[in-house]
Chains A and B, each alone.
Chain A
């Protein structure tokens, strides 16, 4: 009797122990990334600063690793070599010295320290072939700082070309050398951006030239026999670079709005809110008293007046129609990133992505870095997701989207007690360099 009871107890004990003590891992498996018919064996992105992952006025590692190309490569699990520059990057990184979160204002300084290239000895071409400042012309033609578009037509060689191309040929020829299976191309932004950010004082690429160059480029890209995604050109006027500083100031006496004066095409005019735009860089000029009277107008390079705005919009529309037509003719997948960013720009309270609110507001909008032109790391994730959606649709794939809330913030705070040489807010000529 007694022994039987003990045996029953023992049996119960052992059985239940066995039942529960082994970890059940059978319901776990690695996430299945279904690339469908998309072939990411060799993945290349070609473009400008937006492709490079440039942020806050410079190119630096902690931003580069969140470029849309890097994010997509991670999602699909493919190799993606990046021309990393250690933080704080190629120089003059914009950083926040102090911030008033309730007002949404900040004091911005330049970090004059610079980092150094981390894998300049990588024997092959980089998978990220985005070069800050690159124009459409450059993709096929530029092989160094001395023969890039900025050097030939603007007299200012762009050292980014030497840094990333390393004398191994143009962006296109280096992409070709990798025998890519999947290519993302996002180019043409700088062909109009320089015109806009310089207040219309720097020429844009004429539409006919753009058509010729883009046609030549898609032919070349098509010859790679790769799968290709192209992105079009966002409306430059919705970026905080143009929407942050209004062309009016408040009269401290009675609170009324005073319209500022600025030079446009050699003549001085009074600027109107909602019609004429000022660059982010005009802020310190206004603070110094410029624009308050017709006799002391804001220089032309800070003013994008309504006519110039119309020109820029018109040119972008024609560029985008060129891109759409030529991409479609080659069977490339088009991502209408212009519409996506416009949706965010035109929404009153911003748009939620994974519960995080994004708007085109400077500093507080989450979307743009401190230069007011380039996206934050989370902004890059939004772009990456739009590309992934297009790929999933076109190639019957099921690549998981990125949760943008899990991408770290990328607005840089100035480190205290460092020996940085602090420069007052907004170095004026900084933005006349192309992006």
Chain B
């Protein structure tokens, strides 16, 4: 009988998949499809390639925000094609960077951003409610960096990042063989952790540049609490109280090349994301002395980015970009916590100079995820342990992102 109730502990799991990672640290970089590693010529460089800040004069400040909306539908469970829609939510990750050029060779910078900051919310009565009803993950990252120009055409940079993360997971619990209402479990937790970053910018000629940016993985040991709602008769069987979970966000390595033709700057990035460290998600319910393990087996993934920056005149620049982001989630493990898929990103934006000191960047990015039809799901949506109830169906997802950054140079 005990085994039967272990199912209560299956916790949604694709928490940190690529959809929850954000690479949007500034409007210009986003407008250029994120192909910014070899460009790195705004304070946003702190996150893409901190070596780039040696290109910035004086003291510079970038502040802004993104506005992100996600849309996703699930049609299933196969053979049914009933459509379920993700609830509307708006996410507003912050943008804040500051750089200071100490002398010709030495620069400092500090950046504040959200490398993760999304979530999904489904109806409390939807068919996948035993998999997930709500999840949200936010990471605030504060990254001080130092950059040094070794030669005129080569800059190196390194920094550390302090990260504060909080997470919320909510789902229903099937109380079968008992009837009528579901139980509910909600887990919240947070942690802080350190990581590091470095970057290289190499400009063999005035028009050609190469860049490399590296952000380390960050290990978290979340601690928090689990609260539950269940009939009094069964309450003792649901986990509650102190909860902990270990999680590691993946390493990111980007290499890029950019070339300038007169007024047109073209750039291209390859970003490697080391998801394979994400083997399984283990959540410990200390007071119930139980551990929920869910196997993930993510693939490493990559993103290929192309971007352009077209200098129209002294006050106006136009940006455009396109990228392809490979999903790390295998078909059989895809779940609605994060309806991930290979995705295409299309971006456009502009930069407008009000005067010598103030520039506004505004960009829009549309993300279209490939339709994903799952026929071999290993996700059991029945909420009954051991049951064979594969969550097969069709996912369609997209996202709209708006980004606004105000750059001020002193």
A-contact bits for B104-145, CB 8 A (1 contact / 0 none)? 000000000000000000000000000000000000000000
Query: Taking the nearest CB of chain A, how far is it from the CB of B68, in angstroms?
Result: 18
B389-A13 in contact (CB<8A): no
A409-B174 in contact (CB<8A): yes
Query: Taking the nearest CB of chain A, how far is it from the CB of B343, in angstroms?
Result: 9
A6-B322 in contact (CB<8A): no
Query: Taking the nearest CB of chain A, how far is it from the CB of B390, in angstroms?
Result: 9
Query: Taking the nearest CB of chain A, how far is it from the CB of B58, in angstroms?
Result: 31
Please measure, in the bound complex, the distance between the C-alpha atom of A24 and the C-alpha atom of B387, giving whole angstroms. Answer: 31
The answer to whether A413 and B2 touch (CB under 8 A), given A9-B320, A96-B178, is: no
B361-402 interface with A by 8 A CB criterion: 366, 368, 370-371, 373, 380-382, 384, 386-389, 394, 396
Whether, in the assembled complex, A418 has its beta carbon less than 8 Å from a beta carbon of chain B, the answer is no
A413-B382 in contact (CB<8A): no
Complex: chain B residue closest to A29, CB-CB:
B81
Residue among B81, B320, B388 having the largest count of chain A Cβ atoms under 10 Å:
B388
A17-B177 in contact (CB<8A): no
Whether, in the assembled complex, A256 has its beta carbon less than 8 Å from a beta carbon of chain B, the answer is no
In the complex, what residues of A have CB within 8 A of residue B388's CB?
A: 354-355, 403, 405
A101-B264 in contact (CB<8A): no
Query: Taking the nearest CB of chain A, how far is it from the CB of B236, in angstroms?
Result: 8
Whether, in the assembled complex, A21 has its beta carbon less than 8 Å from a beta carbon of chain B, the answer is yes
B179-A355 in contact (CB<8A): no
B250-299 interface with A by 8 A CB criterion: 261-264, 266
B81-A101 in contact (CB<8A): no
A2-B79 in contact (CB<8A): no
Whether, in the assembled complex, B352 has its beta carbon less than 8 Å from a beta carbon of chain A, the answer is no
The 3 closest A-B pairs by CB, nearest first: A409-B176, A31-B79, A405-B387
The answer to whether A412 and B237 touch (CB under 8 A), given A13-B346, A28-B81, A400-B79, is: no
Give me 5 other A-B pairs in contact (C-beta within 8 A), A9-B266, A378-B176, A405-B389 excluded: A96-B178, A354-B387, A378-B177, A413-B175, A416-B232
Complex: chain A residue closest to B3, CB-CB:
A357
A28-B233 in contact (CB<8A): no
Complex: chain A residue closest to B230, CB-CB:
A413
A-contact bits for B169-191, CB 8 A (1 contact / 0 none)? 00000111111100000000000
Offer 20 A-B interface pairs, CB within 8 angstroms, sorted by A. A1-B261, A2-B261, A5-B264, A5-B266, A9-B266, A13-B322, A13-B346, A21-B368, A27-B394, A28-B75, A97-B233, A102-B2, A354-B389, A356-B386, A356-B387, A377-B179, A405-B380, A409-B177, A412-B180, A413-B231
Interface residues of A (CB under 8 A from B): 1-2, 5-6, 9-10, 12-13, 16-17, 20-21, 23-24, 27-32, 62, 96-99, 101-102, 104, 354-357, 363-364, 366, 376-378, 400, 403, 405-406, 408-416
A376-B263 in contact (CB<8A): no
Please measure, in the bound complex, the distance between the C-alpha atom of A410 and the C-alpha atom of B175, giving whole angstroms. Answer: 10
Looking at the complex, which one of B2, B80, B386 makes contact with A31 (CB distance below 8 Å)?
B80
In the complex, what residues of A have CB within 8 A of residue B70's CB?
A: none
In the complex, what residues of B have CB within 8 A of residue A405's CB?
A: 380, 382, 384, 387-389
In the complex, what residues of B have CB within 8 A of residue A414's CB?
A: 233
Looking at the complex, which one of B234, B266, B310, B396 makes contact with A23 (CB distance below 8 Å)?
B396
Query: Taking the nearest CB of chain A, how far is it from the CB of B325, in angstroms?
Result: 12
In the complex, what residues of A have CB within 8 A of residue B233's CB?
A: 96-99, 413-414
Please measure, in the bound complex, the distance between the C-alpha atom of A170 and the C-alpha atom of B237, giving whole angstroms. Answer: 48
In the complex, what residues of A have CB within 8 A of residue B371's CB?
A: 23-24
Query: Taking the nearest CB of chain A, how far is it from the CB of B372, in angstroms?
Result: 11
Please measure, in the bound complex, the distance between the C-alpha atom of A412 and the C-alpha atom of B4, giving whole angstroms. Answer: 17
Please measure, in the bound complex, the distance between the C-alpha atom of A376 and the C-alpha atom of B233, giving whole angstroms. Answer: 19
Whether, in the assembled complex, B5 has its beta carbon less than 8 Å from a beta carbon of chain A, the answer is yes
Complex: chain A residue closest to B180, CB-CB:
A62
Looking at the complex, which one of B234, B263, B266, B384 makes contact with A356 (CB distance below 8 Å)?
B384
B368-A2 in contact (CB<8A): no
In the complex, what residues of B have CB within 8 A of residue A2's CB?
A: 261-264
Complex: chain A residue closest to B176, CB-CB:
A409
Complex: chain A residue closest to B383, CB-CB:
A405
In the complex, what residues of B have CB within 8 A of residue A97's CB?
A: 233
Please measure, in the bound complex, the distance between the C-alpha atom of A354 and the C-alpha atom of B388, giving whole angstroms. Answer: 5
In the complex, what residues of B have CB within 8 A of residue A406's CB?
A: 77, 381-382, 389
Whether, in the assembled complex, B308 has its beta carbon less than 8 Å from a beta carbon of chain A, the answer is yes
In the complex, what residues of A have CB within 8 A of residue B322's CB?
A: 12-13, 16
Query: Taking the nearest CB of chain B, how far is it from the CB of A75, in angstroms?
Result: 11
In the complex, what residues of A have CB within 8 A of residue B94's CB?
A: none
Residue among B179, B233, B389 having the largest count of chain A Cβ atoms under 10 Å:
B179
A-contact bits for B150-178, CB 8 A (1 contact / 0 none)? 00000000000000000000000011111
Please measure, in the bound complex, the distance between the C-alpha atom of A405 and the C-alpha atom of B80, giving whole angstroms. Answer: 16
B178-A409 in contact (CB<8A): yes
Please measure, in the bound complex, the distance between the C-alpha atom of A29 and the C-alpha atom of B177, giving whole angstroms. Answer: 33
Looking at the complex, which one of B308, B344, B389 makes contact with A355 (CB distance below 8 Å)?
B389
In the complex, what residues of A have CB within 8 A of residue B175's CB?
A: 409, 413
A9-B1 in contact (CB<8A): no
The answer to whether A411 and B2 touch (CB under 8 A), given A20-B368, A23-B396, A356-B386, is: no
Please measure, in the bound complex, the distance between the C-alpha atom of A13 and the C-alpha atom of B180, giving whole angstroms. Answer: 52
A411-B382 in contact (CB<8A): no
B387-A413 in contact (CB<8A): no
B177-A411 in contact (CB<8A): yes
Complex: chain B residue closest to A379, CB-CB:
B177
B178-A104 in contact (CB<8A): no
Please measure, in the bound complex, the distance between the C-alpha atom of A6 and the C-alpha atom of B245, giving whole angstroms. Answer: 49
In the complex, what residues of A have CB within 8 A of residue B384's CB?
A: 355-356, 405
A410-B81 in contact (CB<8A): no
Query: Taking the nearest CB of chain A, how far is it from the CB of B376, in angstroms?
Result: 16
A17-B346 in contact (CB<8A): yes
Please measure, in the bound complex, the distance between the C-alpha atom of A386 and the C-alpha atom of B338, giving whole angstroms. Answer: 37
In the complex, what residues of B have CB within 8 A of residue A411's CB?
A: 177-179
Please measure, in the bound complex, the distance between the C-alpha atom of A317 and the C-alpha atom of B28, giving whole angstroms. Answer: 82
Looking at the complex, which one of B179, B380, B386, B396 makes contact with A408 (CB distance below 8 Å)?
B179
Query: Taking the nearest CB of chain A, how far is it from the CB of B4, in angstroms?
Result: 8
B81-A31 in contact (CB<8A): yes
In the complex, what residues of A have CB within 8 A of residue B80's CB?
A: 31
The answer to whether A20 and B344 touch (CB under 8 A), given A98-B233, A409-B175, A413-B234, is: yes
A28-B394 in contact (CB<8A): yes
In the complex, what residues of B have CB within 8 A of residue A13's CB?
A: 320, 322, 346
